[in-house]
Structure 1
């Protein structure tokens, strides 16, 4: 090494996606452009907004944020007797098995992937190059190999999310009825584009939001930069659409001197319009958007809050300004309508084992899926065990992402349990020498008996014991692969209340009221936990988080000392208000819920802070709305109300 001399010639870097889109500094000069994915408008119309009486425009920056799972990525592998077993902190073990087999030249039978309990995923955890290297090293050395990244490595190398600039122009009548939306998206794909380059397609799909917008014209440019490649993070393209649209609605309300709630009311898709196809091609299943907003407003005491705000402003300038922010949203879950595996079998003791291709990183599948199966079998929930995450135990599956698990994995498990019940009726009828058509299952007690004659009965345990003694226990089992006919579209409305200290710039989030309608709720406690987590993530983007790079592409805050996230003491109680509008798309009537809170909370909080600063002439601020950003906005306004 001492005999080697290296001269480095620094090359120009570009870390800002909008700058990269200009192609003045090329990341890969041979390609001639930084644009790696371009989707022009379907039918560009230069006169799209010409007939609109009122037009508002702006730029929404949805900043780069870290997925920040509490557990960083980790991988272990062992190659023994010609077979690879690897343990990966992953959301998609069956996909990982396919990747590893293809890359390492191993057959499906020669690869086993185990995804044990994982401390969070948020869309960012799947097989990566490090996992492949760990498996390759295990085979090359014949020794077990383990790797775990540090927190700083996690924040630099794990795919971040968002990093999108959205230029919008909204046209409306003087009565506030929206007529058209023009949207130009520049998305940061990072240095080596992956799925993140295509996430703006979801942003465009959801660009209409909960509103009837007759005409939408959208273009996408995803660009390469000298930064970490982006990918899905809790929301994956959908939060950006809501952030953009809800800012545009507030700007329109300000332009027309209308209450932001009233502008939303005038533009909601009405209940009798469903199923509804938007101008951007989304096929909404069902909704009650006006009902969600009214429920949120009533629960927050919106009229009283506005009166308090007006009273405080009439008393002259004061350092602590009250802000009220709204958001109304709809999102897409199970967006690509994949198939999921579910299986149920009865053990010799009369308990049930559920196998699912979905898996949990804290979402509570073990509880929710067990509850679905227990209700159908008539068993106590503690007698149902859910297994997942091992490709030797579960033969196939798509994994967990896109808020799809219960609506396909839960449905598959439910259908498998129903098939087991039907098999149980036939087998119990034979044991009791009864007509199978007369056999029923008492779901309250989990026993089979002849209709109208409960005195002769068999419990699951009785039936399983008899079949086991005959070597026929395997007959009490079923496997189902379920695929929904289309995605589902959860919706809701949030109200955020903040108090802003204009002398220091500090923002105190006083309240956040949340209505998240995810269809039928299987387990209210699990659902509320998902909403809480999503809302906190949304608040964090609005007020705290940003993965920053300098102009040379160097990370500036890739650790938890300098990357800000909220502590529990900085958050108010999250006021969750229940609303259920079952979807007709699946038998359970359920939709996804894991990402909804994130999508609704961010724009509500952003709108609240900007509303607090409206007496200072502030019309828009980019996130995160930290103390310095707010303080500078007040200073630049001239420190005067009016």
Structure 2
């Protein structure tokens, strides 16, 4: 059998089409058709107001306009969404009676061209009766806060309370109030949809091209929304220009466009403008109150955490992470004997909050790693040492957590040791001491963060492999790539199982008419579920081929093995048969060499790692400049180091960006202040530092490949490492904490406050955590995104 291709660097097979401009994005598909109408939304400029009237008549008379639709025109069905923090809060395609955030859609204009639709949208006259806004999640939970939804009490979507005192035997307690900033997901491509209700030859009444992570889920949700049988709906996700959790299933905007197409009986397309995209996809948004108890020698004795999640308007499911995945991973890679964790999720007059890369896990790591550094500083222990004293040890796996999860495998000290070595932390600390001694205004900071995360979540996934009469193969999976490299990784698995050259393998995905079922992409599930499904299908094809080859070659099946381009008899050089001959023979017998199968994953996996960040802080201006970032992530067995490194680079930069630059900001009236890329600070190549990405490999026992997830890992480790580095640079000045993003204003303010003697990073949590009467809704299980 030829040597295994797994574990080697293979260039991405997806890239040539994209770099040559041959992508098939939704907006390109719509532009290429002359029969497509174009939709434009009329959106609320107010954060909270009653809709007194929506006058569409002037717009309907405008040139090129085919229809102008308000809420009443699209029926009474709420939009079934990917998830909600509280299912009692309905969301409709267009706002009904009340708008609840700037950007809430109130009408839809459909015209022959987008330009005509834009012009007509200006003519829609909406009469608003302003209502009070509530932007701050802490204020939203107060008894006197403006009420957003009559279905909720005190704007509380979820309240999960716990009891006990995990700190009663602590010798030292450190505490902090920590903000985890709201981010705009900001993928390169915004939301987009093309809905064609004219039918096709395959019996589909409705075909929808959708920029989504979950084509099959999108199909199911559209069937529920439209009432059309699932078998009559086809959903295709063509090339998708990024998602990061923001394109889960369908959105209300997608539903409105589909409803318009069905009402008009004509294809209708819509693609977000950048300003719309900045308002439609948000993530993070937590306020965390954490107290950590320790012995004087740095052993953790217990932790109490109260975490407030911002749902935005309409109970966005991202707010539920405060009680879901953030709670699940609040223990991190440490032995914490007792934990009291309480989560609350509130609605605010802001854009609905969904998922963003890591979806609750980065928030947990940021909270824990920040308070652990506070403890190290309080006790005079090196930050790496306090982590080592509390790590779950390799011999303790499988390790059960307070949240009822079981960590599969790990050596948490290994990536920490490697990260410290690669970053030359001893040398950096020597330089730090030199700068402090000389009074250099540009101080050096070294930050460390260790993490573990949950990926995969269990469940099932579809895989398919077919070998054709020309000796090529087709691979399909129910995952849906939007940049991750599925075609490369899954083809490598088939090449490994069948001995085929990579250029003989094609990959098909993201079309519900071709792939019968699938869970889509999110939660770093793809390789460990889609990849395992493909591996299972390839193994079954190989086994069937071996039986056929044994018959044709007149050999024992036990002696037939995979060779280069076919099967051969061990020890008999001339006894071989190509895949093309096998496939032709199998087809002639009516038993083609193709297998569709389902892989069931019973347990999630838990990748882990450590990051070290080195930053320079100008104490005269507050400006932070990243100098080095070392990421050592362990995703189990590495199938393609190039793909893993790509995920590490992208994830780490997003994590660094959250720590230093990105934050979506509203004023007190709910008006977004950072809704353009001129105002929202996205890093450029000039801002970032090179990512030094490394891997360790600790295979999971839960699947045959030993693989875990990698797509979110570096994002989780990067943010707290950089935040800790910024604080470390200022610790000799008395600074104990700086909330992220560590902007020049915040950093300089922290220096000023420390000089004035004010720096305790604590504030009492809001009263919602002490009101059991509000705890009516159990938090949803971890949502996979």
If the length of structure 1 is used for normalisation, what is the TM-score?
Answer: 0.95
- Is 2:648 aligned against 1:531? yes
Alpha-carbon deviations, 1:186-232, whole Å to 9, x = none?
Answer: 10111101322321211111111011100000111100111111111
Call closer, same or farther: CA 1:191–1:305 in 2, change over 3 Å.
same
Matched residue, 1:492 = 609
Distance across 2 between alignment mates of 1:409 and 1:279? 29
Matched residue, 1:104 = 226
What is the 5 A alignment of 1:300-311?
300-311=423-434
Following superposition, the deviation at residue 109 of structure 1 comes to: 1.8
Distance across 1 between alignment mates of 2:148 and 2:236? 38
- Is 2:242 aligned against 1:120? yes
Matched residue, 1:171 = 293
Asked whether the equivalents of residues 490 and 593 of structure 1 are also in contact (C-alpha less than 8 Å), the reply is yes
If the length of structure 2 is used for normalisation, what is the TM-score?
Answer: 0.78
- Is 2:308 aligned against 1:186? yes
- Is 2:133 aligned against 1:10? no
What is the 5 A alignment of 1:58-77?
58-77=176-195
Matched residue, 1:483 = 600
Select which of 738, 751, 755 maps to 1:634: 751
Distance across 1 between alignment mates of 2:495 and 2:238? 24
Select which of 518, 521, 536 maps to 2:638: 521
Distance across 2 between alignment mates of 1:492 and 1:400? 22
Question: For structure 2, which runs of at least 5 residues remain unmatched after alignment?
Answer: 1-54, 59-123, 758-785
Distance across 2 between alignment mates of 1:352 and 1:630? 56
Alpha-carbon deviations, 1:221-251, whole Å to 9, x = none?
Answer: 1001111111111010001110000011100
Distance across 1 between alignment mates of 2:138 and 2:708? 35
- Is 2:684 aligned against 1:567? yes
Following superposition, the deviation at residue 252 of structure 1 comes to: 0.3
Matched residue, 2:764 = none
Distance across 2 between alignment mates of 1:629 and 1:529? 32
Select which of 555, 566, 586 maps to 1:467: 586
What is the 5 A alignment of 1:303-382?
303-315=426-438, 317-335=439-457, 337-382=458-503
Matched residue, 1:203 = 326
Q: CA RMSD in A?
A: 1.9
Single out whichever of 529-538 and 129-138 deviates more from structure 2. 129-138
Matched residue, 1:580 = 697
Distance across 1 between alignment mates of 2:341 and 2:367? 13
Following superposition, the deviation at residue 634 of structure 1 comes to: 2.2
Matched residue, 2:771 = none
Secondary structure, aligned partner of 2:244:
coil
Alpha-carbon deviations, 1:326-355, whole Å to 9, x = none?
Answer: 0000010012x1210000000111111001
Distance across 2 between alignment mates of 1:496 and 1:63? 20
Matched residue, 1:592 = 709
Call closer, same or farther: CA 1:594–1:29 in 2, change over 3 Å.
closer
Asked whether the equivalents of residues 583 and 592 of structure 2 are also in contact (C-alpha less than 8 Å), the reply is no
Following superposition, the deviation at residue 566 of structure 1 comes to: 0.7
Call closer, same or farther: CA 1:457–1:637 in 2, change over 3 Å.
same
Secondary structure, aligned partner of 1:63:
strand
Distance across 1 between alignment mates of 2:509 and 2:126? 51
Distance across 2 between alignment mates of 1:407 and 1:209? 21
Call closer, same or farther: CA 1:48–1:429 in 2, change over 3 Å.
closer
Matched residue, 1:52 = 170
Matched residue, 2:143 = 23
Alpha-carbon deviations, 1:72-127, whole Å to 9, x = none?
Answer: 11100111246111100000000111111121111122100000110101011031
Following superposition, the deviation at residue 140 of structure 1 comes to: 2.1
What is the 5 A alignment of 1:110-149?
110-125=232-247, 126-149=249-272
Following superposition, the deviation at residue 471 of structure 1 comes to: 5.6
Distance across 2 between alignment mates of 1:107 and 1:32? 37
Secondary structure, aligned partner of 2:212:
coil
Give every structure 1 segment of 4 or more consecutive aligned residues whose post-TM-superposition deviation is greater than 4 Å. 1-9
Single out whichever of 531-540 and 8-17 deviates more from structure 2. 8-17
Following superposition, the deviation at residue 639 of structure 1 comes to: 8.8
What is the 5 A alignment of 1:375-414?
375-414=496-535
Matched residue, 1:512 = 629
Distance across 2 between alignment mates of 1:607 and 1:390? 44
Secondary structure, aligned partner of 2:266:
coil
Secondary structure, aligned partner of 1:192:
helix
Matched residue, 1:89 = 211
